[in-house]
Chains A and B, each alone.
Chain A
């Protein structure tokens, strides 16, 4: 069974850096886009961007461009989400997701979700 396994919860101070991970199981990791979705406490879902592990092609949502960096190490089937300077407003749960396209149309959807990584930024 294909799974996305995310790294554990983090507690950081404002101004610190952070890199969280998402490891895919199975041999097909490089064939699908991997995305990140933010959920702030008590709020809805926001797509941040996605990366194609095969060639590291990365697309960011305009709302998150310049705020985070996505990367991948395909040799270990792992995607990363990184902050250089954390803010309190970065406190949220971050989900990695697999982005798929419908076989009958060009519709994109997120069919596989990690369990989420809770990031708490507080002084």
Chain B
């Protein structure tokens, strides 16, 4: 199985901050990396597919980059509604695996 490791596990930030979350795969996954946002008590929501393709309706302050084993999710200017947990997921090989999540909290 491909292991996905996110860092940090949690972070505290203020509104307006630039936030970066990293995801590392245990082997190369090309750019087959997806990002999800989950708010408390809600289902996850797909933000970015194939490393950098923003889903319809997702604000442009979200961006993704990377290929191979190292990937990044960036929020350029954190907004109040962005406080949530973010998960990466590899779409390269079954079983499809997720990172452990990064919780973005209010400073």
Contact = CB atoms under 8 A, between A and B. Distances in A.
A32 interface: no
B46 A44 contact: no
Contacts, number: 69
A114 B53 CA distance: 22
Interface residues on A, range: 20 to 34
Contacts of B30: 105, 107
16 contacts: A45-B87, A47-B95, A47-B96, A47-B97, A95-B44, A102-B49, A102-B53, A102-B91, A107-B34, A108-B91, A110-B34, A110-B46, A111-B46, A113-B43, A115-B43, A116-B43
Interface in B60-84: none
A44 B91 contact: no
Interface of B: 1, 30-34, 36, 42-46, 49-50, 53, 55, 87, 89, 91-92, 94-101
Contact of B95 (A61, A102, A113): A61
Contacts of A114: 43
Contacts of A45: 36, 44, 87, 89, 98, 101
Query: Chain B interface mostly helix, strand, loop or mixed?
Result: loop
Given A102-B49, A110-B89, A63 B95 contact: yes
CB-CB nearest 8 A-B residue pairs: A107-B32, A108-B91, A113-B43, A61-B95, A107-B91, A109-B34, A45-B98, A47-B96
Interface string A20-60: 00000000000000010000000011110000000000010
Nearest to A6: B43
Given A44-B100, A47-B97, A47-B98, A107 B92 contact: yes
